[in-house]
Amino acid sequence: MADRSSLEEGYPPANEDHSLLGHRTEPWKRWKSLCIKISIIILIILAGIILDIALFADIFETNEDPKLVIARNGAVSAEQEDCSKIGVQILKEGGSAVDAAIASELCIGTINAFSAGIGGGGFMIIRDSNGTAEVIDFRETAPAAANKTMFNENPKLAAYGGLAVGVP
């Protein structure tokens, strides 16, 4: 039998840590690492370009009919345009901001009873002319007979009908 060392002359001694390709694996590892890093950088740059294009080209959903209101003496905002108009009319007739807010809220309570007003509730922030601020919380509460499982059988009752109305 031939001596093992004579068969492997000129080659490094074999061991478990040494690959079959020997020195050829190191450049490949560096090349693979470099390719991954370059790919990540390219993806980040592409994502930035796409985001910039989307922002500047208004691809994202925007309001097609924005209504900017500039007012010197006050403004009214409500979830229904008709209710905002009622509040504005109160201001035009000499009413205070609180009067306009109450009128708008009563309108919302009529149009969307489940949302606000007698069948719902709300919050009001009042700032008077001397800078004093006050918060009024008129959120509704559940009726005394309400319980956690009352809408389990028919969840629609929580949004429609008399059971959807809270107690002011």
Decide if 104 contacts 84 (C-beta within 8 A). Answer: yes
Query: What span, in angstroms and rounded, lies between the C-alpha atoms of 3 and 95?
Result: 111
According to DSSP, the residues that pair with 135 across neighbouring strands are 125
Query: What span, in angstroms and rounded, lies between the C-alpha atoms of 160 and 149?
Result: 16
72 is annotated as contributing to ligand binding: no
Per-residue burial over 25-42, b = 16 or more CB atoms within 10 Å of its CB, e = otherwise: eeeeeeeeeeeeeeeeee
Among 149, 150, 148, 144, smallest CA distance to 167 is for: 144
> And the tokens for 63?
């309001």
Strand, helix or coil for residue 54: helix
The H or E element spanning position 128 is: none
Query: Which residues participate in the annotated binding site?
Result: 139
Query: Which residues participate in the annotated binding site for L-glutamate?
Result: 139
